[in-house]
Amino acid sequence: MIPITRPIKRKAIKPGVAGFLFTTPWLLGFLIFTAGPMLTSLYLSFTKYDLSTMKWIGTTNYQRLFTEDPLFWKSLQVTIAYAILTVPLGIAASLALALLLNQKVRGQRFFRTVFYLPSIVPAVASSLLWMWIFNSDYGILNWALGLFGWSGIEWLADEKYTLYAFAAMSLWGAGGGRMVIFLAGLQGISETYYEAARIDGASPWQQFRSVTIPLLSPVIFFNLILGVIGAFQVFTQAYIMTGGGPNNATLFYALNLFRNAFEYFKLGKASAMAWVLFVILLIITAIQFWGSKRWVHYEGEAK
Amino acid sequence: MRASRRIGPLSRYLLPLIAILAIGCAEPEDGRVHLRYMAWGNVQQLNLEQRLVDEFNKRNHDVEVKLFKVPANSYKNKMIVMFASRTSPDVVRVDHYDFPQLSERNYFRDLEPFISRDAEFKKSDYFPLAIEECLVDGRMQGLNVLFGGGIMFYNKKLIRDAGLEDPYALWNRGEWTYDKALEYSVKLTKFDSTGRPIQFGINMPPMPFYLAVIQAFGGRLLNPALDKCLLDSPGAIAGMQWIADLRWKHKCCPTPAQGANAAFNFETGKLAMEFNYVGMTARYNELITKFDWDICPMPNGPKGDSFFVKGNQLVMYRETKHPEEAWRFMKFMTGPIAEDILYIQERRQAPTRIELGQSEGFLHPKKPPFNMESVAMTIRRGKTLPIGPRWPEVMATLTPELDNLFAGRETDASVAMRRATAAVNKTLREEPGL
């Protein structure tokens, strides 16, 4: 007798479940490595935790940060000044560079590669390089300034100049990444807009102001958001080059946070600092999104 | 059948992966105990550490130690993370700057039980200062390695060419003082016709050497309880003023910019005298071929000598699974064989064992430096540094104020030290960990 075999019924997986299954690795990674530590640090920010004992102290860490810690305010001030200095400057410089590299000239690919290279140099290596450049006695920068009669500027030792030195360095390091994004944005602008503008008699400046800038505004907005977040997270350069000095002139927020956590073992305070930074960035980003409605134009968007 | 079909993919891919991971994480089953030892250092130091580990493994067939190297700049972070996450290596070398802070968190095993039942290990074999640095509440929590004190290196050729007497001879007559060192530094500093420096007399004493300078002037950084800053005392101010004046008044010591990028390092032959540790010997013997050099003690000040000591501590991780083997390894690393390699053959620092510190091989070497009695005096008579659990905070508070003085933004040491004292005392008054 031949046994009767019934066909195995495979239960169809609903598309939603399949999607969920596919995203499970990411979700697990997010929960374990991002959301978990974030919530832990939120809890820690209400404790006094020094790696050996943990004690719930409510909002004391936050209160002390705002009312009793001059270095918290100093580091916030340094970081905000750095962001104000570097973000607009960085966006303008990388946009200018992208415009230049968008021209059809011989060796275009070579120049694009060369200008992108600094952004793949590790921060530690570029910090050491810039320490040479900024050396007040033997550095190439002071040598060049000396040709115009300026000399002896202590770029990394005089608190009047250190932030400008860091800003110059940021243009070199982060400019390449932003430049590539701008370049991609520029190449996405159809030539027909420029042709139409030219037919209407627009000058190159008018074309830039009335065609390039509006159509590139989503990319500028993207770079603005990332630039502000990046500026608030500066750490390696200050850690390597100045250690926060001179006289705390380069004590960036992230460096101060790191010191509290891993040098003084004030992990509760450091967690509170991390959450304050998170809230600051959240507010700044929200303001940027709110303001973007006035100046960011998306193609096909009805206004 | 159905069940096996259901877990098919699981058994085919996931289980072997888990098995491989489990095998990879487990200790190899070769009948030996496997220990991990964590250390940092430059290439030469790490090669030496490896040589010592190999020597130990050769002599102990039941144990295998693996050297776990971590770059110096991330060493402390790595160490803290591993201690806190209970994944620390069995034996760890800890810089003394971090030792009290970490011991306060109970990461280290108390070594007294091992010492009391080990007939081979006698505290009396070691210099008392080497033992003192490892004590926490009177109990040993580490064994001292790379121990030594501050001394001065000097370029004999430059001193001879300037018609000056050998500093060690002055020391032996009791005439090597801070006044004399300043006189030498000024005479040994040279500028070219455009006013650019081509040779400096002395380097700026780095931390902790500046603490030794103020010690000789009668000052101290902290009180014995380590809870009050004393830098505003007349002695501390006088010592700090002497240091700042080297650079800004007498201009016989490179500024940070002049000294950057190793332009006036001792081995270049453009620096006549240098505050440093005797551990630099190995490097100088390798690099210096064009002039002769030697060492002498740091000068005496109006209120005494400048002798101080500092080492690293070998500690046993509190939760090691193999404490007896770890102790055996630690004992080897501070035993006669390892110390002979480290301090007599390679001259990395000074021995912690009295017998070796007084040996012919250590005191009368065949290569420079020859005046090794300078080191012997330091480790016999030096003072331990005022390093407590809050050392990193004290230094972070103090450094900006010292920066102002040493970078010439403030020329009056009394002003800078009063500010520094107020700032450090404020830090020390705060509740630790908050």
Taking only the tens place, the pLDDT of each residue in B121-142 is 999 999 999 999 999 999 999 9
Q: Which of A5-14, A15-24, B72-81 has the lowest mean pLDDT?
A: A5-14
Left, alpha or beta for B427 (phi > 0: left; psi -120 to 50: alpha)? alpha
> Phi, psi at residue B367, to the nearest 5°?
-120, 160
* Residue A146: band (very low, low, confident or very high) from pLDDT cuts 50, 70, 90: confident
CATH class of the domain at B28-148+310-384? alpha beta
- Chain B interface disruption, residue of A67, A265, A266, A271, most B CBs within 10 A: A265
DSSP B26-41: SPP-SSSEEEEEEE--
Domain B150-307+390-429: CATH superfamily, name plus number: Periplasmic binding protein-like II (3.40.190.10)
User: Which one-letter DSSP state was computed for residue A211?
Assistant: I
Taking only the tens place, the pLDDT of each residue in B350-396 is 999 999 999 999 999 999 999 999 999 999 999 999 999 999 999 99
Query: Cβ contacts (< 8 Å) between B80 and chain A: which residues?
Result: 51, 262, 265
* Residue A69: band (very low, low, confident or very high) from pLDDT cuts 50, 70, 90: very high
User: Touching check for A112 and chain B: CB below 8 Å?
Assistant: no
Nearest CA in chain A to B427: A69
How many C-beta neighbours within 10 Å does residue A20 have?
12
Q: Where are the domains of chain A?
A: 60-295
* pLDDT exceeds cutoff 60 at B419: yes
The C-alpha of A50 sits at a distance from chain B's nearest C-alpha, in angstroms, of 5
Which member of A50, A137, A268 has the closest CB to residue B257?
A137
Q: What does the pLDDT read at residue B4?
A: 45
Taking only the tens place, the pLDDT of each residue in B154-170 is 999 999 999 999 999 99
Q: Which of A160-174, B203-217, B404-418 has the lowest mean pLDDT?
A: A160-174
User: Touching check for A64 and chain B: CB below 8 Å?
Assistant: yes
The C-alpha of B47 sits at a distance from chain A's nearest C-alpha, in angstroms, of 25
Query: Cβ contacts (< 8 Å) between A57 and chain B: which residues?
Result: 434
Which member of B76, B105, B434 has the closest CB to residue A52?
B105
Asked if B199 and B193 count as a contact pair (C-beta separation under 8 A), the reply is: no
Average pLDDT over residues B238-252: 97
Which member of A48, A157, A264 has the closest CB to residue B256?
A157
Asked if A166 and A234 count as a contact pair (C-beta separation under 8 A), the reply is: yes
Return the closest-CA partner of residue A81 out of A250, A284, A289, A290: A250
pTM of this structure: 0.84
CATH class of the domain at A60-295? mainly alpha
* pLDDT exceeds cutoff 80 at B257: no
Q: What does the pLDDT read at residue A127?
A: 87
User: In this structure, what token pair is assigned to residue A158?
Assistant: 């005089």
Question: What does DSSP say about strands B308-316 and B271-277: parallel, antiparallel, or unpaired?
Answer: unpaired
The C-alpha of A37 sits at a distance from chain B's nearest C-alpha, in angstroms, of 14
Average pLDDT over residues A203-223: 94
* pLDDT exceeds cutoff 50 at B421: yes
Q: Where are the domains of chain B?
A: 28-148+310-384, 150-307+390-429
